[in-house]
């Protein structure tokens, strides 16, 4: 969701800005733009198309300092006039991620002062506000700090001034922004993938930080305005990890990266002989000893991981667990229980609703917090007491795939650690689970071999408008995840139900035009599920069943069965996710949709 790149260098920065935006495309956007200072004036180029179009339009643009942006519309429709950068009086230019909540108030104040607005965005108030200070003090840093003091809301910004070709200001509060350190050149960006082209050295800015970049170096100021040092880190990301390689889409690449992502996530555990709370942080043993229930907060796919974990935590660890959608929890009046562990799950670690839910939980008195996240240094990681980093690597496709299965792996580890603490895991059981976890990457690899078969099945969905997904128990959240994947990237309306609910309403929808996808592991609910499938078959529904080999469900008229290679016991939800991801991917290919950047969606949802 929205992306920022900025650079100050001795060379023309336009190619760096454009390449940076290309690498941020995955975040989701509907317009793009850049501005550079050239001969003491601002040269701005904007476009409502793809970044490639912006690149075409800016071929002749040249400057050694500049800022660029991909916009995902919040205030004002996607259009060139609403695209960033926004300028004030040809002097100040601003790019902005986030939402300024008091923009209407500021807009009328600035209008009263004679400022003319040319867009419908909240961002334009920032440009005019900085301008109103800058014309008085000619100090870009101070003007930006004064303007920021008037803003209510979330922001990451980049600012330049036409008459100041050697200074770029960046600032963050509530939206991610980092600083890239090159050889005599400096950069800002919303995430590191934009900067790998120029540097591996990164400084993670803290909440409220303002940074002033110049050719001679940079200076960081904290929320109170005092100069502060922040550590320079070497990013673990490399160019290869964000490149497509042999694959057609990032989603396909990321589906295939799951065996490695799981192996990396489980590495420390699988190499040891026993499970210890320390994998969740130094204070985990102490925290875990004080809690007796869990509340999981997350959005979208991450919340589905939480729903699977609820089954594991209650059955294996004997810990009561509730799962709540973060955007609901943050506004609900709830009762804080000091013995509850708050677990937030997030691929990006920057999802506004999940972050706000975490802070809400803390504000009402929850002191035990654990983040399961894929991005080190993300806000959710930094604001939680305990943490587990999934090691899925960068996930570029908007549809979450490897992040989900690695979240499940992390949650299974949490379950085992708590089960052990609660005396519910014998040494023999612990070894058996460790064995299954070591085997997991190769079990996933075996499922991926079914790709051609699933690509064939997908053809049956291409002309459909609706689909129903069924699962039971542990696999009901997997049905939800399968439906979310399908609707997200193929735009087919898909719903998921616990199969037992079928006859309480959704059965009315079933006819020969309604594909019904069933997740059918060989577990204790199998016979119940088989009866539910009969109910569908009897109404002429077309069944697509992902069945473990021992289930004895076979293809017949109207029943298409894909045999899963093995039943993985408690880890079965991870294996059963894979074919549903592949199904969604191949249906989207059939329909010719933009798989990695589905319409209206953003990768990292940093606004409410």
Residues that bind ligand M6R (CB under 6 A): 299-302, 346-348, 351, 354, 398-400, 484, 488, 604-605
Shortest distance (Å) from residue 354 CB to ligand M6R: 5
603 is written with which tokens?
């990768």
Identity of the residue, 61 or 347, whose beta carbon is nearer to ligand M6R in the bound complex: 347
Q: What is the three-class DSSP state of 402? A: helix
Is the torsion defined by CA of 225, 111, 131, 202 positive or negative? Answer: positive
- Distance from chain centroid for Cα 130: 31
Ramachandran class of 178: left when φ > 0, alpha when ψ lies in -120 to 50, beta otherwise: beta
State how far the alpha carbon of 321 is from the alpha carbons of 28, 164, 306, 318, in Å.
33, 56, 9, 9
Closest contact distance (angstroms) between CB of 606 and ligand M6R is: 9
What single string gives the DSSP state of each residue in 521-542? -SSTTHHHHHHHHHHHHHTTPE
How many other CB atoms sit within 10 Å of the CB of residue 2?
26
Distance between start and end Cα atoms, the chain: 11
Q: CB neighbours of 44 closer than 8 A, spacing ≥ 6? A: 33, 34, 35, 85, 87, 93
Nearer to ligand M6R, 33 or 482 (CB): 482
Shortest spacing between CB 510 and ligand M6R, in angstroms: 26
Q: Which is nearer to ligand M6R, 398 or 536 (CB)?
A: 398
Residue closer to ligand M6R by CB (options 141, 373) is 373
Nearest CB to ligand M6R, comparing residues 167 and 400: 400
In the bound state with ligand M6R, the residue whose beta carbon lies nearer, of 340 and 407, is 407
Q: 60-71: b or e for each residue (b if 16 or more CB lie within 10 Å)?
A: ebebbbbbbbbb
Rank residues 296 and 514 by Cβ distance to ligand M6R and give the closer one.
Answer: 296
What minimum distance in Å lies between the beta carbon of 488 and ligand M6R? 5
From CA 81, how far away is CA 120, in angstroms rounded?
8
Measured torsion, CA atoms of residues 317, 320, 325, 327, in degrees rounded to the nearest 10: -120
How far apart are CB 214 and ligand M6R at their closest, in Å? 34
Q: How far is the CB of 503 from ligand M6R (least distance, A)?
A: 29
Please give the backbone phi and psi of residue 217, each rounded to the nearest 5 degrees, phi first.
Answer: 150, -165
CA distance 88 to 80: 16
As measured in angstroms, the least distance from the Cβ of 355 to ligand M6R is: 9
Q: Name the residue nearer to ligand M6R (CB basis): 399 or 410.
A: 399
Angle (CA) 502 504 505, round 5° = 80
| Structural tokens at position 534 | 């009969």
From the CB of 496, what's the least distance to ligand M6R, in Å? 14
Max CA separation in the chain (angstroms): 79
Q: How far is the CB of 339 from ligand M6R (least distance, A)?
A: 26
CB-based closest residue to ligand M6R:
300
Question: Measured between alpha carbons, how far is 47 from 391 in angstroms, rounded to an integer?
Answer: 36
Query: Would you state the structure tokens that stand for residue 344, as one six-digit string?
Result: 């937030």
436-448 exposure pattern, b = at least 16 Cβ within 10 A, e = fewer: ebeebbebbbebb
User: What are φ and ψ of residue 581, in 5° steps?
Assistant: -65, -45
Place of tokens 């085997």: 439
Question: Is-contact 196 242, C-beta < 8 A?
Answer: yes
- Within 13 Å, how many C-alpha atoms sit on residue 308's CB side? 31
- Tell me whether residue 85 or residue 394 sits nearer to ligand M6R (CB atom): 394
Helices (H), 402-518: 402-421, 427-448, 451-458, 476-490
- The residues pairing with 158 across neighbouring beta strands, listed in sequence order, are 95, 170
> By C-beta, is 33 or 598 nearer to ligand M6R?
598
Degrees (nearest 5) of the Cα angle 539, 543, 548? 135
Residues taking part in catalysis = 2, 603
């Amino acid at each position: 969701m929205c992306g920022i790149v900025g650079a100050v260098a001795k060379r023309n920065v336009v190619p760096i800005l454009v390449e940076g935006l290309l690498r941020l495309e995955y975040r989701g956007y509907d317009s793009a733009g850049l501005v550079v200072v050239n001969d003491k004036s601002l040269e701005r180029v904007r476009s409502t198309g793809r970044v490639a179009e912006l690149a075409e339009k800016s071929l002749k643009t040249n400057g050694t300092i500049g800022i660029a942006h991909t916009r995902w519309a919040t205030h004002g429709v996607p259009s060139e006039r609403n695209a960033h950068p926004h300028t004030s009086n040809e002097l100040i230019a601003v790019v902005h991620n986030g939402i300024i909540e008091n923009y209407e108030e500021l807009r009328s104040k600035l209008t009263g002062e004679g400022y003319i607005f040319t867009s419908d965005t909240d961002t334009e108030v920032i440009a005019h506000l900085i301008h109103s200070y800058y014309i008085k003090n000619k100090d870009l840093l101070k003007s930006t700090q004064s303007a920021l003091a008037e803003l209510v809301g979330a922001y990451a910004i980049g600012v330049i001034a036409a008459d100041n070709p050697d200074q770029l200001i960046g600032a963050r509060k509530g939206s991610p922004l980092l600083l890239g350190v090159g050889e005599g050149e400096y950069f800002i960006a919303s995430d590191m993938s934009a900067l790998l082209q120029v540097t591996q050295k990164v400084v993670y800015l803290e909440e409220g930080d303002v940074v002033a970049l110049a050719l001679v170096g940079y200076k960081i100021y904290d929320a109170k305005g005092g100069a502060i040092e922040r550590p320079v880190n070497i990013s673990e990301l490399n160019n290869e990890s964000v490149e497509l390689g042999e694959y057609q889409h990032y989603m396909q690449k990321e589906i295939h990266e799951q065996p490695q992502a799981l192996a990396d996530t489980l590495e420390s555990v699988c190499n040891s002989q026993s499970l210890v709370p320390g994998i969740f942080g130094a204070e985990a043993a102490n925290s875990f000893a004080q809690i007796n229930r869990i509340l999981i907060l997350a959005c979208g796919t991450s919340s589905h991981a939480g729903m699977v974990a609820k089954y594991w935590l209650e059955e294996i660890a004997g810990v009561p667990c509730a799962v709540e959608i973060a955007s609901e929890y943050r506004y609900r009046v709830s009762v804080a229980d000091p013995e509850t562990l708050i677990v937030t799950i997030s691929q990006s670690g920057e999802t506004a609703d999940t972050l706000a839910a975490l802070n809400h939980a803390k504000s009402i008195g929850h002191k035990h917090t654990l983040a399961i996240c894929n991005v080190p240094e993300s806000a959710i990681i930094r604001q939680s007491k305990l943490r587990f980093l999934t090691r899925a690597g960068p996930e570029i496709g908007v549809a979450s795939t490897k992040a989900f299965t690695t979240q499940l792996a992390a949650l299974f580890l949490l379950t085992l650690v708590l089960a052990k603490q609660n005396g519910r895991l014998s040494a023999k059981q612990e070894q058996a689970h460790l064995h299954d976890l070591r085997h997991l990457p190769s079990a996933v690899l075996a499922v991926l071999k079914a790709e051609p078969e699933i690509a064939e099945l997908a053809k049956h969905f291409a002309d459909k408008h609706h689909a129903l997904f069924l699962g039971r128990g542990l696999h009901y959240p997997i049905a939800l995840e399968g439906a979310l994947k399908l609707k997200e990237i193929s735009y087919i309306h898909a719903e998921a139900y616990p199969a037992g609910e079928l006859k309480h309403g959704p059965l009315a929808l079933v006819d020969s035009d309604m594909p019904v996808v069933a997740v059918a592991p060989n577990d204790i609910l199998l016979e119940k599920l088989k009866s539910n499938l009969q109910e569908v078959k009897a109404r002429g529904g077309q069944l697509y069943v992902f069945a473990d080999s021992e289930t004895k469900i076979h293809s017949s008229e109207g029943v298409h069965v894909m045999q899963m290679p093995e039943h993985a016991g408690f880890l079965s939800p991870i294996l059963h996710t894979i074919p549903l991801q592949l199904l969604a991917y191949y249906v989207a290919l059939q329909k010719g949709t933009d798989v990695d950047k589905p319409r209206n969606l953003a990768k990292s949802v940093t606004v409410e």
